[in-house]
Structure 1
Amino acid sequence: MRLLALGGLLGAALAYLFDPDSGRRRRALARDRSAGTVRSGRRQSGRLVRRVSSDARGVTRKLQHRGQKQKPQPNDATLARTVESEIFRDPDVPKGKIDVNAENGIVFLRGEAERPEMIDDLEQQVRKVPGVQGVENLLHLPGEPAPARPATS
């Protein structure tokens, strides 16, 4: 039964393509469409090959860098200057009223902040700086005494 159906389909396709009136045009259309499909397949396979090769290159680079050592811990002076440049980017931070020091990766913030939120914001910004091991926040509001010990957080 299947063979009969297959024979019927093949006969219909041949009659369609070799029709004396329109067969030449139909064969040309089929040839053009199949050539376009082949070109499209080549383009897509080329894109796939390029993507897979660049993914593989990226994975090998990740593996190469995974074995490398991390950057050494910056010295205290460099760390303090890095923290200063980070927190003083905000024009609302009073540059002359805040002192930044670092000892063994721990950053000390001393001075006056204008608002209570600013004290917490500055501490959070400092914690995000690479190389900071800890933060001792000794900031206070104007008119309040300077804390002798860091606020526990």
Structure 2
Amino acid sequence: MTIDMVNFTPLSALVGGGMIGLAALALMAVKGRVMGISGILASLIRPDADAPDAHDSNSWRLAFVAGAMLGPLTLGLFHIDIDIIPVASGWVLPLAGLLVGFGAALGSGCTSGHGICGLARLSPRSLVAVMTFMLTAVITVYLVRHAGVM
């Protein structure tokens, strides 16, 4: 296995990872909430009136989702080149999205909630979830890139 040194950008990955970590820390410090994308989005779409934070405004959730969507668009306005590598097309993309959504619901969280926040809190459930995510990713890459599936 070789690393494509043209597209290997450890500095931007380090900066981006640090920014995600700081955002997760800030959300936990200010709102006492875990930065899990699926939970934030789900509570916007289908608010739970019985949730402990039901009285809490959705403004921070809207700002979070808007920032996640507007960030890459803002980079484009400043002509900052970001490589978007298409990972799927046609019918595979919506199917993959549905499977990811199902997995997040089944696993009680997504990669950001378990991988960033859960592991930082030393959650055994998050460790199992992340190991499952990673094993599934390795198997999927093998099947698609080396076994000729799809």
TM norm structure 1? 0.21
Q: Which has the higher helix share?
A: 2
TM-score normalised by the chain length of structure 2: 0.22
Structure of larger gyration radius: 1
Q: Which has the higher contact order (CA 8 A, sep 6+)?
A: 2
